[in-house]
């Protein structure tokens, strides 16, 4: 078993103690549309806020057509206080129009097509592909980017570079679960500032690149 296998095995065991990311929970409803919208809401927003906002919004609308029947103002009120709620309300309406006009109301299952939707970046596109459709992809958020570099698995400067480096380095069997594992680890142990190295179960595999202070 090589280093990556050992790290993944340990994180799988440890992450059972943590609350899973909200977008992962929502994905169990097997609705790519809900994954897409909840991911948009989650950007620059804490998971607890995203969870509550998503729950309120999906009670009102769970399809692109239903979402278009709601006013932008009502969406704003429903998703508040997610970050940039006014901008996100407009984005949601624009995306729903595009889905209906260009894709028959169905969320695309290809990254390149998802990237054509206004406000959708590679992180969101990969999440929809992996969690919404169960297809291979590597979602890179701030936790994945930070921890992958701290471990010394890769050496990159941007999340996009991290995604493509991991596509070469990471065994495909770990692509879909990698984001969930590192997000939970990053929220609870490998925090941005002063990580809990004393509690970290993968400490001996970590090169601690860029870590100046730890607990």
In angstroms, the Cα distances linking 115 to 18, 67, 126, 162 are: 31, 20, 10, 18
Token reading at 92: 């949601």
97 labelled catalytic = no
Per annotation, catalytic residue among 5, 48, 109, 141 = 141
90 labelled catalytic = no
Alpha helices in 15-62 (DSSP H): 22-27, 32-42, 47-60
Token reading at 27: 């994905």
Per annotation, catalytic residue among 34, 88, 123, 180 = 123
Query: Do 93 and 63 touch, CB atoms closer than 8 A?
Result: no
Peptide bond into 81 cis (omega under 30): yes
Active site residues: 123, 141
């Amino acid at each position: 078993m090589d280093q990556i296998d050992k790290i993944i095995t340990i994180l799988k065991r440890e992450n059972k103690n943590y609350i899973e990311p909200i977008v992962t929970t929502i994905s169990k409803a097997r609705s790519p549309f809900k994954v897409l919208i909840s991911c948009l809401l989650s950007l620059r927003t804490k998971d607890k806020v995203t969870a509550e906002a998503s729950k309120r919004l999906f009670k009102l609308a769970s399809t692109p057509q239903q979402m278009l029947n709601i006013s932008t103002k009502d969406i704003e009120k429903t998703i508040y206080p997610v970050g940039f709620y006014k901008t996100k309300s407009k984005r949601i309406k624009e995306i729903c129009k595009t889905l209906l006009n260009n894709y028959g109301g169905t969320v695309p299952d290809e990254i390149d097509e998802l990237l054509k939707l206004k406000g959708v970046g590679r992180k969101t596109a990969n999440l929809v592909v992996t969690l919404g459709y169960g297809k291979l992809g590597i979602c890179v958020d701030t936790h994945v980017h930070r921890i992958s570099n701290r471990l010394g698995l890769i050496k990159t400067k941007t999340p996009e570079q991290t995604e493509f480096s991991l596509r070469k380095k990471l065994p495909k069997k770990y692509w879909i679960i990698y984001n969930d594992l590192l997000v939970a680890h990053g929220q609870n142990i490998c925090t941005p500032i002063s990580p809990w190295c004393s509690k970290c179960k993968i400490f001996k595999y970590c090169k601690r690149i860029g870590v100046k202070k730890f607990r």
